[in-house]
Amino acid sequence: MKKLKFLRSLRFRLFLLIAVIGIVPSVVLRVAILASYEGRAVSNRSIDVLSQAKLLGNQVVTYNYISDTSVEVINTQLEQLSNIYDGRILLVNPGFQIVKDTYGLDAGKTIISEEVVRSFRGEEITKYDSENRYIELAIPLKGAEEEEKSQGVMLVSVSTDGIMVNYDFLKDNALVIEIASAVLVLVAAFACANLLVLPFGKLTKSFEEVQASDDTGKLMVSDYTETEAISEAFNEMLGRLRVIDESRQEFVANVSHELKTPLTSMKVLADSLLGQEDVPAELYKEFMGDIAEEIERENKIINDLLSLVKLDKSSGSLNISVVNVNELLEVIMKRLRPIAEKQSIELVLESFRPVSAEVDEVKLSLALMNLVENAIKYNRKDGWVHVSLNADHKYFFVRVEDSGIGIPEESLEHIYERFFRVDKSHSREIKGTGLGLAITRNAILMHRGAIKAHSKEGEGTIFTVRIPLTYVG
């Protein structure tokens, strides 16, 4: 199988194609020309001999040679004609007797062949015997008058050996030329095939170079429109891979940074306590309180990361059951109400209809809770949060609207990225990891749902979630 691999190569197929196109017509041409040459040469020779023989025939009639074969002029001409064409001439009288044979063999003998009989009736016959290589002619000997009786018949047979010698010579020559041209065609086909597949080799080499190069390398082999299209497709794919790689690197860097920040704070707090002598108990208490807060933050980041990883891993393995979404939202509201009250934020749930849906209760609850939590966190004092639930025959919709600080337009497309936080300055006052919306979006996508955000800075934000009522795996 491996040995035959080259049969599938473009180079071999091009070579074969060019070779066939180059060689086949020349073979056809050679065979056709040789075949028509033989026919044409024989017919030319027949016409020649026939016209000469007819001239001589007229003279034979004029001199009444059949009755008297001693006429010297005719004898000389008969000899000449048979010598020129390397042939034999027989003259037959009406009694079917041979009166003259230029070979001098059959004079006096009787000949009754079909040709002779037909010729006596006035027919002119030309025959080519290709096997024995001679042309046979039968010419009636009679005067110009139509009704005149035939004085005899002239039989002429001429050898076509001369023609065949030419034919063989031509055949040999044509074969030599053809073999030479076939060799040239094969060489040209090989060179052309190599030349034509060159851009593909270039493409493969560029693939390797671009892969080995730094982040900026791009591929472009524009020799053919096809290689250009491949290059473009490759560049697009490479771009996507680079984005994935970059975001992975960024993610790892962010995770390390986020995990390190609370640790650094704790170390600073602990060191400052250890570096002082006779530290008052209140200061200890205060610093330990700060350290406990940092531990809490570290804990939150790790928990969020674990939720994300879990969501990524178990994509497709949702724990689906029929859940009362109204109740699910009520539980979320109950859990978050104390936080909202602390900032005197009004928290309202509006259910337009009872909704039961096939969802993963834990994951959906996590997703919706993040949204409501954000709406409270990024709010103003004495603000409000409205949560509403509605449904049609296919989907249920949850809308979380707040009167908060809003999200700048340029940040809207980034809010679902891991560790993204709109304004690093407010992130110091409002605690968060930047992972909440990434978790929410993942969970919603796993349910084949969709999430959209509308926001106006300083006025508030609306998140709308749409999830199918029945789960399709």
Which of 140, 199, 436, 449 forms a contact with ligand ADP (CB under 6 A)? 436
- Please give the residues from 194 up to 233 whose contact with ligand ADP meets the rule CB under 6 A: none
Binding flag, residue 405, ligand ADP (CB under 6 A)? yes
Whether the Cβ atoms of residue 438 and residue 413 lie closer than 8 Å to each other? no
Distance (Å, rounded) from C-alpha 84 to C-alpha 79? 9
- Minimum CB–partner distance for residue 442 and ligand ADP (Å): 11
Contact 116, 127 (CB under 8 A): no
Binding segment for ligand ADP (CB under 6 A), chosen from 243-251, 344-352, 414-422, 465-473, is: 414-422
CB 356 within 8 A of CB 375: no
The angle subtended at Cα 442 by Cα 437 and Cα 445, nearest 5°, is: 125
Which of 402, 442, 451, 466 forms a contact with ligand ADP (CB under 6 A)?
402
Instruction: Tell which one of 434, 446, 451, 465 touches ligand ADP (CB under 6 A).
Output: 434
The phi and psi torsions of 13 (rounded to 5 degrees) equal: -65, -40
Segment holding 328, helix H or strand E: helix 325-342
432 is a site residue for ligand ADP (CB under 6 A): yes
Q: Is 134 in the site for ligand ADP (CB under 6 A)?
A: no
In the list 415, 443, 451, 465, the residue contacting ligand ADP (rule: CB under 6 A) is: 415
Output b/e per residue, 239-248; b: 16+ Cβ within 10 A. eeeeeeeeee
In whole angstroms, what is the distance from residue 282 CA to residue 437 CA? 39
* Pairing assessment for the beta strands 134-141 and 125-129 based on DSSP bridges: antiparallel
By the 10 Å C-beta count (0-12 exposed, 13-18 middle, 19+ buried), 388 is classed as: middle
Q: Tell the smallest beta-carbon distance from residue 359 to ligand ADP (Å).
A: 21
Binding ligand ADP (rule: CB under 6 A), the pick from 266, 407, 443, 467 is 407
262 contributes a contact to ligand ADP by CB under 6 A: no
The verdict on 378 binding ligand ADP (CB under 6 A) reads yes
Q: Which is nearer to ligand ADP, 65 or 463 (CB)?
A: 463
For residues 157 and 374, which CB has a smaller minimum distance to ligand ADP in the complex?
374
Stretch that binds ligand ADP, among 47-55, 159-167, 308-316, 417-425 (CB under 6 A): 417-425
Shorter beta-carbon distance to ligand ADP: residue 133 or 380: 380
Please work out the total of residues on this chain that contact ligand ADP, with binding judged by CB under 6 A.
21
In one letter, which amino acid is 51?
S
Footprint on residues 355-374 left by ligand ADP (CB under 6 A): 370, 374
Between the CA of residue 418 and those of 117, 204, 408, 438, 469, what are the distances in Å? Answer: 114, 36, 18, 6, 28
Asked if residue 383 binds ligand ADP (CB under 6 A), the reply is no
Write the burial class of residue 445 (CB in 10 Å: 0-12 exposed, 13-18 middle, 19+ buried): middle
- Cβ 206 to ligand ADP, closest distance in Å? 41
Task: Out of 63, 287, 420, 471, point to the residue binding ligand ADP (CB under 6 A).
Answer: 420
* Bridge pairing between strands 152-159 and 134-141: antiparallel
Give me the residue label for tokens 């709308």.
Answer: 464
Return d(Cα 156, Cα 80) in angstroms, integer: 13
Q: Is 404 in the site for ligand ADP (CB under 6 A)?
A: yes
- State the minimum distance, in angstroms, from the CB of residue 251 to ligand ADP: 14
Task: Please report how close the Cβ of residue 390 comes to ligand ADP at its closest, in angstroms.
Answer: 20
User: Would you count residue 387 as binding ligand ADP (CB under 6 A)?
Assistant: no
Minimum CB distance to ligand ADP smaller for 370 or for 442: 370
Q: Which of residues 67-86 bind ligand ADP (CB under 6 A)?
A: none
Cα–Cα dist 396/11, whole Å = 59
Q: Indicate whether 421 belongs to the interface with ligand ADP (CB under 6 A).
A: yes
Does the footprint of ligand ADP cover residue 401 (CB under 6 A)?
A: no
Least distance from ligand ADP to the Cβ atom of residue 6, Å: 57
437 neighbors 422 (Cβ within 8 angstroms): no
Torsion angle of C-alpha atoms 432, 438, 442, 448, degrees rounded to 10: 110
| CB nearer to ligand ADP: pick between 140 and 404 | 404
**57 lies in the site for ligand ADP, by CB under 6 A:** no
Nearest distance, CB of residue 432 and ligand ADP, angstroms = 3
Residue 456, beta-bridge partner list: 460
Can you give the binding site for ligand ADP, defined by CB under 6 A? 370, 374-375, 378, 402, 404-407, 415, 420-422, 432-438, 461
